Amino acid sequence: MEINQNIIVALAAIVGENNVFTDEATRIDYGHDETEDYNFPPHVVVKPGTTEEISEIMKLANKHKLPVVPIGGRTGLSGGALSISGGIGLSMERFAKILDIDTQNLQVTTEPGVITQVLKEAVAEHGLFYPVDPSSMGSCFIGGNIAENSGGARAVKYGVTKDYVLNLEVVLPTGEIIWTGANTLKNSTGYNLTQLMVGSEGTLGVVTKIVLKLLPQNSHNVLMLVPFYKAEQACEAVSAVFRAGIVPSALEFMERDALEWTMRFVEGVSVPLKDNIQAHLLIEVDGNYPDVLFQEAEKIMSVVEAFEIDEVLFADTDDQKNALWKMRRAVGEAVKSNSIYKEEDTVVPRYELPTLLKGVKDIGNKYGFQSVCYGHAGDGNLHINIVKGEMSDENWETEVPKGIVEIFELTVRLKGTLSGEHGIGYVQKNFMPLAFDVTQLNLMKGIKQLFDPNNILNPGKILPDNL
Amino acid sequence: MEINQNIIVALAAIVGENNVFTDEATRIDYGHDETEDYNFPPHVVVKPGTTEEISEIMKLANKHKLPVVPIGGRTGLSGGALSISGGIGLSMERFAKILDIDTQNLQVTTEPGVITQVLKEAVAEHGLFYPVDPSSMGSCFIGGNIAENSGGARAVKYGVTKDYVLNLEVVLPTGEIIWTGANTLKNSTGYNLTQLMVGSEGTLGVVTKIVLKLLPQNSHNVLMLVPFYKAEQACEAVSAVFRAGIVPSALEFMERDALEWTMRFVEGVSVPLKDNIQAHLLIEVDGNYPDVLFQEAEKIMSVVEAFEIDEVLFADTDDQKNALWKMRRAVGEAVKSNSIYKEEDTVVPRYELPTLLKGVKDIGNKYGFQSVCYGHAGDGNLHINIVKGEMSDENWETEVPKGIVEIFELTVRLKGTLSGEHGIGYVQKNFMPLAFDVTQLNLMKGIKQLFDPNNILNPGKILPDNL
């Protein structure tokens, strides 16, 4: 059914007239996230303020079979927040309150529209640490992190979003309000609805409250940038660090191109970059005891020195550290600002990284595309940016998709999978049969039908079209 | 349908005659786990050797609507492995091979019938660490740990089973064989079937291969036993340790009775126990740097000294450490060997422990039962053993269940839940409505129906009878 004036009036009765938007500018504004250059505007943008309002919206949408798409910070990279069937765009921006920083239990209860970095800083003021730090943390919502099971640089030591979610308040697609679990560190009480919700990309329910586990904050860290003459050796060094018994708090890989583009397109970031350097590893260790960190840094040095490396840069001051991290976090934006692109979020067991990297370059040569690779190497998570550059539109449309299929086939052959932290959303859904056969996909489809019998909540995401 | 001779013949054709048992002794032997004094023998015990055989068994069972109950090490405490409807008891004991210790990726691929301690020791020989250590680790199967999402003493720092499971090979109740995910540390590729399987207590599928994440092994630890004059203060000290910025690798609580019973019923364990001591905390920190561990132990001392404590015992040698751990691990067995009992596996946010402990004692006074409490206090996970002792059979049958309801109501009121690590299984299923309302329970029921349309795999577990 179309969104007609009666629906608009009904929505306004739920959330108030001021929170319903049908003008084109607003609809277009809420029609995109950071996925390529897509824009799918919803027919109407609604900004609810309470869980109960969302429940009423879902009941209305079920009655009239209207699509509802939850929208967070619009930083997603798989099109999870795109209103591909129009309908109601459900912006969560008014759910912006941190409800309780519980210093006794090391937990925080928050609404989903809080920006991740705001949440991190708020708990840090109490000496507490929420480790998950996607590169977009300055603008993404914590609710979007739940939806995509976001990672980031510190996942290698501290885990991803799913490892911190204890309990969720959720409005089901049918309008009921539930809590998925309990506010406890351990839970063996029925099927794990919490973990089913995390990473479900806004297709199984609308998260309205989030209880997260926190850690005591570490006081110190050591950050080093290691230049490698050969990119594959940089990848090899990654698993060597772990095999030496060290668990770094970050272990990031950047191809030469990634750094060059970043220095060209982002102001105020710069590192020495000799001609014959192919890649860098950015390695951090953290803890409370500086002496220990220096010992660990030395151990890491002895590991990386077994490869062909240039002079290692140690960040001596907070300013230097911030500059290196600013650079690392800007890579994605820089690569994307320069060309039409497609980004793949491949992940493999970390020892397979060199094979993956080499394979990606070979596939690029075969199909005539350039790729810029970087990512969370400690997790085996390689972001592959395929850039259009001078490529013809025709080749971009025909050859690149073949190459992407081969990249994913390689990933799966290496016991990896399609997405490490960005989700499947809209742009990767038709690649799902490369990772799963029809049995698993039908289980997922059955789960979707169980939660959302009318297929109104974020329809057309995750599962392939022809399932 | 009954198990008749045709079924026996068909089963023998699948697994071989030598692996089918219908004699009473075997059936009774496989009719129990460690849950109270229950025995529900299966009609036939089958010991398959391959995934394909289990697939065939499931197809046969579907055709004839026969219950199938996966059976592991039979150490469960919630009756998950009890054949309450008879049928086929599917012993996983022949799946006893560790398939691949992957030192490059810090992963292990194992069959589910491997004893947890055997797995831990095998990876330790390669300098690798699988941290999950349920007290039953000397006899439980790793597959059973997956089923119950087992924890143990080290969960407080290292997490529970779910935090280490990367990928599972599973035979679905309908006979299809799937992998649930990928062998990667991060994964945002579709609904999380892996985490749905972990903790599902053998009701959604039979796990046949398991890929676990491993950590580099730590070289050192410090273990201390702290006697408290007041049990509630011991509980208070638990959250104080974390608030001081320390994450111990174990933080265990034992009531005086727990220790007394253990010393009485288990040979060769003994600690000093002055008359006026009500409880102990067993606290461990681990890492690679002894100096750091001593500093952390000092910090812990300064935290616990703010409470009314007696002299702290530091375990100086490996023998002393082993003796203390042997004692702690024997508590459950000791308490249970002395009386008919019921064990509750309550879990709350850790700061609520003193309130929970006091509440349990008050409820015991109200209904006239004695309880012995101990457990993984750092996780807020308190094992409450209600012992029958001199109580009349009538009161045991009528009063105790009322008290258990009140204990669970208190737990849920404190934002906790019914089970932290033992699962719901058979004995707790009818308490589930205390933790969940009908909406969540119906979602769980829907998941069960999706995976197991004929309700043949471990039927009558987790979900309440009247749902």
- Collapsed DSSP state (helix, strand, coil) of residue B234: helix
pLDDT in tens, A182-225: 999 999 999 999 999 999 999 999 999 999 999 999 999 999 99
Q: Is it the case that residue A463 has pLDDT exceeding 60?
A: yes
Using an 8 Å CB-CB cutoff, list chain B residues near A421.
Answer: 186, 188
pLDDT in tens, A308-352: 999 999 998 999 999 999 999 889 888 888 788 999 999 999 999
pLDDT at A1: 57
Q: Do A379 and B184 touch (CB under 8 A)?
A: yes
Q: Higher confidence at residue A63 or residue A264?
A: A63
Top residue of A77, A160, A186 to mutate, by most chain B CBs within 10 Å, is A186
Closest CA to A148 of A467, A461, A416: A461
What is the arithmetic mean of pLDDT over B323-346? 89
Q: Is it the case that residue B1 has pLDDT exceeding 60?
A: no
pLDDT in tens, B339-385: 889 999 999 999 999 999 999 999 999 999 999 999 999 999 999 99
The complex scores an ipTM of 0.97
Q: Does A109 touch chain B (CB under 8 A)?
A: no
The number of beta carbons lying within 10 Å of the beta carbon of residue A268 is 9
Sorted by sequence, the CB contacts under 8 Å of residue A393 that are 6+ apart come out as: none
| B183, B436, B437 member nearest A349 (Cβ) | B183
Q: Do B188 and A424 touch (CB under 8 A)?
A: yes
Residue A231 half-sphere exposure, CB side, CA atoms within 13 Å?
23
- For residue A349, the one-letter residue type is P
pLDDT at B186: 97
Closest CA to B343 of B379, B374, B389, B380: B374
Q: Do B187 and A347 touch (CB under 8 A)?
A: yes
Give the lowest-confidence range in A384-393, B12-21, B65-74: A384-393
pLDDT in tens, B200-224: 999 999 999 999 999 999 999 999 9
What is the arithmetic mean of pLDDT over B48-69? 98
Q: Does A424 touch chain B (CB under 8 A)?
A: yes
From chain A residues 86-105, the ones with a CB under 8 A of any chain B CB are: 102-105
Among all chains, which residue has been given the structure tokens 């001051």?
Answer: A317
Q: How many CB pairs under 8 A join A and B?
A: 274
Q: Do B191 and A106 touch (CB under 8 A)?
A: no
Q: Higher confidence at residue A257 or residue B97?
A: B97
The dihedral over CA atoms of A354, A264, A156, B350, expressed in degrees to the nearest 10, equals -170
- Compute the mean pLDDT over every residue in chain A, rounded to the nearest whole number: 96
> Are A234 and A282 contacting, i.e. CB atoms less than 8 angstroms apart?
no
**CA-CA-CA-CA torsion sign (A236, A238, A241, A242):** negative
First to last CA, chain A: 23
Q: Is it the case that residue A389 has pLDDT exceeding 80?
A: yes
Q: Is it the case that residue A27 has pLDDT exceeding 70?
A: yes
What is the arithmetic mean of pLDDT over B86-95? 98
Residue B91 CA from chain centroid, whole number: 19
The number of beta carbons lying within 10 Å of the beta carbon of residue B276 is 10
DSSP one-letter string for A94-140:
T---EEEEETTTTEEEE-TTSBHHHHHHHHHTTTEE-----TTTTT-
Q: Do B188 and A243 touch (CB under 8 A)?
A: no
pLDDT in tens, B259-297: 998 988 888 778 888 999 999 999 999 999 999 999 999
Q: Do A379 and B193 touch (CB under 8 A)?
A: no
Q: Do B186 and A347 touch (CB under 8 A)?
A: yes
| A416, A439, A444 member nearest B190 (Cβ) | A444
Token pair of B95 as six digits: 């799946």
Q: Does A418 touch chain B (CB under 8 A)?
A: yes
Max CA-CA distance within chain A?
A: 70
Domains, chain A: 5-91 (3.30.43.10), 98-216 (3.30.465.10), 244-413 (3.30.70.2740)
In this prediction, residue B337 has a pLDDT band, given cuts at 50, 70 and 90, of confident
Q: Do A415 and B127 touch (CB under 8 A)?
A: no
Residue B365 CA from chain centroid, whole number: 28
